[in-house]
């Protein structure tokens, strides 16, 4: 199979896998990450085939939706082998997917490859701005978390185990993750794209608190 066929098959595979998701990690999220990854690639270079595969497959293995990370990675490995993808490409894609997720403020960014940095940036861009706000509330509802509780304060400097088990409020999630992402972009292209999205979230929170307190 050629690369175009593999990407086409992978799109169909991921659509089947994520069909009906209501947590903000649906096919449309994947499509946006793919589009953003291609956009960043145009400026930053890298192996486009690896970038596209990782962008398409990254949430199939997400620890939030599998028994554990290993089981999700096995699904991805089996898929790539079924598409007769060469071992080096498989290794590169699995490395990206293993290291793409935000795992708490205290955790170091482990991404080393340019392709991984691009896909990670695209995934993080989709977690902020107007889309990011919508996805955050969708995920909070999916998890059964409170929207806002002034008595529950955000947790600072969380490690992965704390982040994974956290069931804090949706508003706190802005402070525990979303507002931190602007300064965690890997590429200059994504850093520039993140600025307006970050600013929009700040404006949203200002308006949210005014309405919460009945001032607007």
How do residues 167-179 score in pLDDT, each as one tens digit? Answer: 789 999 999 999 9
**pLDDT above 90 covers what percent of the chain?**
73
Give the range of the structural domain holding residue 205, as residue numbers without chain letter.
Answer: 3-212
pTM above 0.95, yes or no: no
CA distance 141 to 122: 24
Q: How many domains does the chain have?
A: 1
Least confident of 17-21, 74-78, 168-172, 181-185: 17-21
CA distance 214 to 216: 6
DSSP string, 96-160: HHHH-S---TTS-----SHHHHHHHHHHHHTTSHHHHHHHHHHHHHHHT--S--TTSPPPPS--H
- Residue 1 banded pLDDT, cuts 50, 70, 90: confident
pLDDT of residue 65: 55
> Does residue 106 register a pLDDT over 80?
no
Rounded to an integer, the average pLDDT of 55-73 is 75
DSSP string, 183-214: GG--SHHHHHHHHHHHHHHHHHHHHHHHHHTT
Least confident of 18-22, 31-35, 54-58, 72-76: 18-22
Convert the pLDDT of each residue in 3-52 to its tens digit. Answer: 999 999 999 999 998 888 888 889 999 999 999 999 999 999 999 999 99
Q: What is the CATH number of the domain that holds 203?
A: 1.10.3210.50
> Does residue 207 register a pLDDT over 80?
yes
Rounded to an integer, the average pLDDT of 114-126 is 97
Rounded to an integer, the average pLDDT of 154-164 is 66
Least confident of 82-91, 140-149, 152-161, 193-202: 152-161
């Amino acid at each position: 199979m050629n690369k175009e066929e593999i990407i086409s098959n992978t799109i169909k595979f991921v659509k089947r896998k994520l069909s009906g998701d209501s947590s903000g990690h649906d096919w449309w999220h994947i499509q946006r990450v793919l589009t953003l990854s291609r956009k960043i690639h145009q400026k930053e270079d890298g192996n486009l085939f690896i970038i596209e595969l990782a962008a398409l497959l990254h949430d199939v293995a997400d620890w939030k939706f599998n028994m554990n990370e290993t089981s999700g990675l096995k699904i991805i490995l089996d898929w790539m082998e079924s598409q007769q993808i060469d071992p080096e490409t498989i290794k590169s894609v699995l490395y990206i997917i293993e290291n793409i997720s935000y795992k708490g403020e205290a955790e170091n960014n482990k991404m080393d490859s340019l392709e991984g940095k691009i896909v990670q940036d695209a995934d993080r861009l989709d977690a902020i701005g107007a889309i990011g706000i919508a996805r955050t509330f969708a995920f909070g509802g999916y998890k059964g978390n409170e929207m806002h509780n002034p008595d529950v304060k955000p947790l600072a400097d969380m490690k992965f185990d704390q982040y994974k088990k956290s069931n804090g409020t949706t508003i706190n999630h802005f402070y525990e993750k979303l507002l931190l992402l602007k300064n965690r972009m890997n590429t200059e292209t994504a850093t520039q794209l993140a600025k307006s999205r970050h600013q929009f979230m700040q404006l949203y929170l200002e308006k949210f608190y005014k309405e919460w307190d009945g001032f607007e």
